[in-house]
Amino acid sequence: MAKIDARLRENVHLLGELLGNAIREQHGDAFFDKIERIRKGAKGARRGSADGARLLQDTLDGLGDDELLPMTRAFSQFLNLANIAEQYHQVRRRGPDEAGPPEAGALGGLLERLKGEGFGQEFLARQVGRLDIELVLTAHPTEVSRRTLIQKYDAIAAQLAARDHTDLGQGELAKIELRLQRLVAEAWHTEEIRRSRPTPVEEAKWGFAVIENSLWQALPNVLRQTDQALKRSTGLHLPLDVAPIRFASWMGGDRDGNPNVTAKVTREVLLLARWVAADLFLRDIDGLITALSMQTASDELLNRSGQSAEPYRTLLRTLRERLQATRDWANGAIEHDQPAPAQVLFDNQDLCEPLELCYHSLHACGMGMIADGDLLDTLRRAAAFGLFLVRLDVRQDSSRHVAALAEITDYLGIGHYDQWDEQQRLDFLQSELNNRRPLLPPNFQPSAETAEVLDTCRVVAQAPAASLGSYVISMARGASDVLAVQLLLKEAGLQRPMRVVPLFETLADLDNAGPTIDKLLGLPGYRQRLHGPQEVMIGYSDSAKDAGTTAAAWAQYRAQESLVEICRAHQVELLLFHGRGGTVGRGGGPAHAAILSQPPGSVAGRFRTTEQGEMIRFKFGLPDIAEQNLSLYLAAVLEATLLPPPMPEPDWRETMEQLAADGVSTYRSVVRDHPQFVEYFRQATPEQELGRLPLGSRPSKRREGGVESLRAIPWIFAWTQTRLMLPAWLGWEQALRGALERGESERLKTMRQHWPFFSTRIDMLEMVLAKADAEIAERYDARLVSAELQPLGRDLRDRLSQAVAAVLELTGQSELLAHSPTTLEAFSLRNTYLDPLHLMQTELLARSRQQQSPAESPLEQALLVSVAGIAAGLRNTG
């Protein structure tokens, strides 16, 4: 078996040792010895040792009430430190005899391969320049770690990097390790769990901090590497004004089921983004003013600067003044609505133009080396982030628009919009969209809910176009849902185009997505209001919760195929927006594989996707890791555009249809139809306790009710904690077993070998099954589930074993992930620390349910820390 790299193991051991020192200092040797006995017992138990299992259980049983919280914290913190070591290992210094990370050469290798496929150099350069990738940062409540801890973890990673030099003297090494010890001690003495939920504005600030601390540096580095790869392969450069990767956000704009996101919040977040952008560009401009002290300049620059002796500085000082005015106004306008002074920057060209003038002047005067340094990086940032930093999406549930229009039509005495059929709604909406008079009289007094919808539309209408992305409609079901938003925006005074995007989420809505868009594009006048592509959002999370991942994945694939064909027939460009979650159960997984598995023609140089919760930190939290992931996005979208996967064979489609039908039938027979399922779910998992965890700003439920009322995230999160991982695989066990029993084994293997869509689904299924653990899940049942519900738990664990057996038969392996022994060993290392956390959590859940302890009690705190620790150990929540 391949072993974990010795340097990674060394860093994990070092951080664990430093954590042990901090624990000993606070709690003494006797307590630390208990930690070691638990760790050794868990390790032995994993290897099948009865003595190890007994040592583990006896030591845990002997813990006093006052020891539960620090013990839970100890194992949770170790898993966080292991994550830091693993993250740093991805971007560690390489020796001269070592190859760099594969991500670094992904684009260059792809360009050479594309040339080998017959693509011309100029064509390739144009295609790279036309790439349009937008990553939408969302504040789904899955980021368990507090921001203050994240900053300490980043500082620990920086010290690991400082330590990773072979020529350090003993004094230098000692200084670094002392700094590490202090940082680990600081983390140990910092509470893991927030005392209160973050507000939507605080979530937005967290997102802005990721840009400031990581992406601000990573993006120009990636574009520099892209330019170099392009120059090597084609002899051409990336144009100055292109931005193949941009960022958008839902933080402060996603009001779907979140009453805390109001029009006032959205306006404040838009202004905060402008403040942060101006502040970041001011830092850049200050640096450029210091650097660009030269006197020689082009005639144009000299004339603009008034023949100044330092023309570059003169021009940039004027820009600095305007940025300062912008920052000051944005800051003041948050509290007091006030008109913007003339100096405030609104048009991104006013930011880019003086920078470009300096750039071209330096090149013209033989100073290209200087121009292509920090100035070029600032120009790249100006193109990608601009004056508004991120484009804010607004998201609202379709039912809120229906209710608002129903109130309006009732007030006007023309009927009840919510009772009209689709054609009646379309007739009304089209008539009003074409009507020049206002819909609402000045004296209309809406209800609070309708007033909030209208106020949001006014914020959208008043905001600069470049500050906004799309208006996304959750649970969209018909063409009228899109026209309803267009009418409400028109009524709010919007006089420019804005993308209004239906989000199709359930299985039925995905199946109807194509006909809905076909109807929409055929409506008179709609095409005149559509400027740019027709954007459609594909829901991964709720479709998986509705139908299981087998049927949901196939429905998403077929919906995209249908949308590609329909938009082609209407001669309209299509932009698909992928609402992928972080976990497999919510449609997540490796982005590179996911992009390459999309239907042919669905990635036509454009790709828009959500990046949520803790995945933002794991993928973009450190600049070097962000560079790797952004490079993978560029390469994958270019490859999927120019070398799309093959169309599935007819018999593959037939098999997939049957797999999906069997999958959804099995999934719903358990989740919807089993009379004991909801009660079992609530007893076996910490679902109810998760509602007390102050993760994100929005509630865990959209409304009161059973599983159907839960958001997709806590639904996944709860099953992850018990290691049953049920939403990610339920349905596959019956679907695959049925196909194998029908003698379709060879066809499945052919599909896995030649169809990226199917192979990616099986790979993700294998990964989640490797994380699942029936024995751990059984322990939760034994301690928490009533006797009459335990047979259902046994049935689900039996289904899990069937899923594992089917995947092993399909892949021809003796154990899951046998092809990736390093990953297996990493799982093994984590299990030594996860197993005690699971055992402590089951006991904590039992005691919490018996005692009804207050939220601030040590028992409740220990329970919440166990939730955070297990999430950290498995590196996913929801």
Instruction: Give the confidence band of 586 by pLDDT, cuts at 50, 70, 90.
Output: very low
Domain count, the chain: 3
Query: Do 373 and 468 fall into the same domain?
Result: no
Strands 574-579 and 245-249: unpaired
Please give the Cα distance from 791 to 759 (Å, whole number): 34
Report if residue 213 sits inside a domain. Answer: no
Q: What domain range is 829 assigned to?
A: 650-874
* pLDDT on residue 708: 60
Please report, in angstroms and rounded to a whole number, the separation of the first and last CA atoms in the chain.
31
Distance CA 592, CA 640 (A): 10
* Amino acid letter for position 615: M
Catalytic residue among 43, 140, 152, 490: 140
| Between 519 and 854, the higher pLDDT residue | 519
pTM: 0.92
Same domain, 345 and 442: no
Give the model confidence (pLDDT) of 308-329 as tens digits: 999 999 999 999 999 999 999 9
Cα separation of 74 and 72, whole Å? 5
Whether residue 791 sits in one domain with residue 670: yes
Shared domain for 722 and 823, answered yes or no, is: yes
Known catalytic membership, residue 545: yes
* Nearest to 215, CA basis, from 145, 282, 137, 147: 137
Percentage of the chain surpassing pLDDT 70? Answer: 93
Which candidate in 43, 545, 578, 592 is catalytic? Answer: 545
Which of 93-107, 113-127, 348-362 is least confident?
A: 93-107
* Mean pLDDT of all residues in 568-576: 96
697 and 756 share one domain: yes
Do 367 and 431 fall within a single domain? no
Same structural domain for residues 661 and 789?
yes
pLDDT for the residue numbered 585? 41
Answer whether residue 771 is part of any domain.
Answer: yes
Read off the CATH number of the domain in which 368 is found: 1.20.1440.90
Bridge partner residues of 539 (DSSP) = 579
Spatial contact of 758 and 653, defined as CB atoms under 8 Å apart: no
- Name the most confidently modeled range: 159-163, 200-204, 357-361, 832-836: 357-361
| Pair 747, 661 in one domain | yes
Decide if pLDDT at 57 tops 90: no
- pLDDT tens digits along 593-629: 889 999 999 999 999 999 887 788 888 888 889 999 9
> Does residue 176 belong to any structural domain of this protein?
no
pLDDT > 60? residue 877: no
Looking at every residue in the chain, the average pLDDT score rounds to: 90
Asked whether residue 750 is assigned to any structural domain, the reply reads yes
Give DSSP secondary structure letters for 280-310: HHHHHHHHHHHH-------HHHHHHTTS-SS
Average pLDDT over residues 420-428: 97
Local confidence band at 592 (pLDDT 50, 70, 90 cut-offs): confident
Q: What is the mean pLDDT of residues 201-222?
A: 93
Q: Do residues 708 and 779 both lie within one domain?
A: yes
Domain assignment of residue 441, yes or no: yes
- Residue 374 belongs to a domain: yes
Coil, strand or helix at 611 = strand
* Residue 444 and residue 316 in one domain: no
Same domain, 369 and 464: no
Cα 793 to chain centroid, rounded:
31
Identify whether 51 is part of a domain.
no
* Residue 231, phi then psi, degrees to nearest 5: -65, -40
How would residue 546 be classed by pLDDT, with cut points 50, 70 and 90?
A: confident
Q: Do 842 and 780 contact (CB within 8 A), yes or no?
A: yes
**Contact by Cβ (8 Å): 799, 730:** yes
Looking at the fold, whether 414 and 366 belong to one and the same domain comes out as no
Q: Residues with Cβ < 8 Å from 102, sequence gap 6 or more?
A: none
Query: Looking at the domain assignment, is residue 793 inside a domain?
Result: yes
